[in-house]
Amino acid sequence: MQQWKSFAVDLARKAGLLLKEKFSQTHIIDYKGDINIVTEADKMSEVLIMEAISRQFPDHGILSEESPAVTGAGKIRWIVDPLDGTTNYAHGYPVFCVSIALEIEDKIVLGVIYDPMRDDMFVAARGEGAFLNEKKIAVSSVKDLSRSLLATGFPYDIRESKENNLDYFNAMAVKVQAIRRAGAAALDLAYLAAGRFDGFWELKLKPWDTAAASLMVEEAGGVISDITGGKWHLQSPAILASNGLIHEQMIRILQDV
């Protein structure tokens, strides 16, 4: 595990510093949908990460946001978001990260999330805890939903689909202290693991958004389910994560909607 961890941390830092270097430059933006974009920086970060993985571990599979999946020879797969928070990045809003996870036999065993603007390196290995800049982290101790700070986001098809989280947001907003919508789900979940947020929910996320971050939350003592309280997996249509203490309170509000 140590070999993989050192490799992933070094790789996330290199990709993050590339993104930071290009942050203030004018970006080439392509549209994958009405509001879903990709920049040249996404692609450069992805190339850096995928080439490094292929060189170091040629038998490993790779699932990354902007490229076709690479099928490995075994049951080891890297799940990568080369730039989580692309819209923020394209607008010069400094909230984004690199996310790298390692999956072995369908179980996430390693997660690394790096925020280059704050030099925050979040690392979690299964059974070893979660860490921020080499200091162990844990979820918050807030027990009352009305005193909680939550995070969420809205899907890219918000203009077309009725399943756009607006109804859940409206119901939750009047029950909590505040809700933040920062635009980088992996970073939101890392903040939950670090006790900066007390809860999080979102619809229609992809495996590269949640793979590393879900392990981070679990290793920090948090709880993850779908929004009905059922078992969550990487392909689930929605995710609910919390410090565990407000989890049932959040489920009740979402179920009422």
pLDDT digits (tens, 9 = 90+) for 168-202: 999 999 999 999 999 999 999 999 999 999 999 99
Q: Measuring CA to CA, how many Å separate 74 from each of 59, 68, 70, 106, 109?
A: 7, 18, 12, 11, 15
The CA angle 241-243-247, to the nearest 5 degrees, is 60
33 pLDDT more than 70 = no
Question: pLDDT over 70 for what percent of the chain?
Answer: 97
- The model's pLDDT over 77-134, given as tens digits with 9 standing for 90+, comes to 999 999 999 999 999 999 999 999 999 999 999 999 999 999 999 999 999 999 999 9
Domain residue limits, the chain: 2-136, 145-256
Take residue 254 and report the two structure tokens written for it.
Answer: 């979402």
Predicted confidence (pLDDT) per residue in 48-88, tens digit: 999 999 999 999 999 998 888 998 878 999 999 999 999 99
pTM: 0.95
CB atoms within 10 A of CB 157: 16
- The overall average pLDDT reported for the chain is 94
Q: Tokens 């020879």 — which residue? A: 73
Residue 163: partners with Cβ closer than 8 Å, 6 or more residues away: 155, 203, 204
Token pair recorded at residue 65: 């946001």
Taking 80 as the threshold, does the pLDDT of residue 36 lie above it?
A: no
Mean pLDDT over 242-247 rounds to: 98
Q: Mean per-residue pLDDT for 34-42? A: 78
* Contact of 139 with 221, CB cutoff 8 Å: yes
Q: Does 2-136 carry CATH code 3.40.50.1950?
A: no
Flag whether pLDDT at 17 surpasses 70. Answer: yes
Which CATH number among 2.60.40.10, 3.90.1300.10, 1.10.287.40, 3.40.190.80 corresponds to the domain 145-256? 3.40.190.80
Query: For residue 35, what pLDDT is reported?
Result: 59
Query: Does position 37 have pLDDT exceeding 80, yes or no?
Result: no
Q: How far apart are CA 192 and CA 144, in angstroms?
A: 16
